[in-house]
């Protein structure tokens, strides 16, 4: 499974990339707005820090506007994936932009039927939002299972399942078990994957035993 980090904090992205755990990045206008900087500058920096796909989202809701913004974002760097919403106009833009050679991430997916449409439109990624489904009493992982199963039935469909709205490590593990291609996670969740109390306890015990020997490896 690939890990994308869901943030526009360039320093945080660089720090996580140094660990070798970041295969790509997802951003949105809200995340970039927090930086107080121009979107093109932020996206360019992120693309320079991470060689994998960097999702940059359009804000237009009509086809012509999406195409104009999508082409602008695509021109920032070769690894930009234009993010469009799962609407009729968004799917039209997805089809057109992929036809022009762009990577496209179709976002705000909440049903398997929507995911099938995104794949038919040629999306590079489809982003089902598991946390938001959990918030309204639905099981977000059931959606991931359905999408993975449907895509597996049709080898000609190349769209990758990018699990979004990830809230905790269990979402990541469940997504991996179901065969999702990517999980995009907030930095805090990615860092939480490293930790287990028994690891900390075991390391402390090993170090205490070693200290008793009075030795040094070097």
Active-site residue set: 83
Extract the tokens encoding 52. 């994998």
What is the 3-class SS of the chain, one letter each residue?
CEEEEECCCHHHHHHHHHCCCCCEEECCHHHHHCCCCCHHHHHHHHHHHCCCCEEEECCCCCHHHHHHHHHHHHCCCCCEEEEEECCHHHHHHHHHHHHCCCEEEEEEECCHHHHHHHHHCCCCEEEEEHHHHHHCCCCHHHHHHHHHHHHHHCCCCCCEEEEECCCCHHHHHHHHHHCCCEEEECHHHHHHCCCCHHHHHHHHHHHHHHHHHCCCCC
User: Helix 88-99 to helix 63-74 angle, to the nearest 10 degrees?
Assistant: 40
Neighbours of 78 (CB within 10 A): 10
């Amino acid at each position: 499974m690939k890990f994308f980090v869901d943030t526009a904090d360039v320093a945080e992205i660089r720090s996580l990339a140094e660990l070798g755990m970041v295969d790509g990045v997802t951003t949105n206008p809200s995340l970039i707005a927090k930086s107080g900087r121009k979107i093109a500058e932020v996206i360019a920096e992120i693309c320079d820090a991470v060689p994998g796909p960097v999702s940059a989202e359009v804000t237009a809701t009509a086809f012509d506007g999406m195409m104009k913004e999508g082409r602008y974002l695509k021109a920032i760097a070769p690894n930009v994936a234009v993010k469009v919403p799962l609407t009729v106009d968004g799917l039209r833009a997805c089809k057109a932009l992929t036809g022009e050679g762009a990577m496209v991430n179709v976002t705000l997916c909440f049903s398997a039927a929507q995911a099938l449409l995104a794949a038919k439109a040629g999306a590079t990624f489809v982003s089902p939002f598991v946390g938001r489904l959990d918030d309204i009493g639905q099981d977000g992982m059931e959606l991931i299972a359905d999408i993975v199963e449907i895509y597996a039935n049709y080898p000609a469909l190349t769209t990758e399942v990018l699990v979004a709205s990830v809230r905790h490590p269990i979402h990541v593990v469940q997504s991996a078990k179901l065969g999702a291609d990517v999980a995009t996670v907030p930095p805090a969740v990615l860092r939480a994957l490293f930790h287990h109390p028994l690891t900390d306890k075991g390391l402390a015990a090993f170090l205490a035993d070693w200290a008793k020997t009075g030795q040094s490896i070097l």
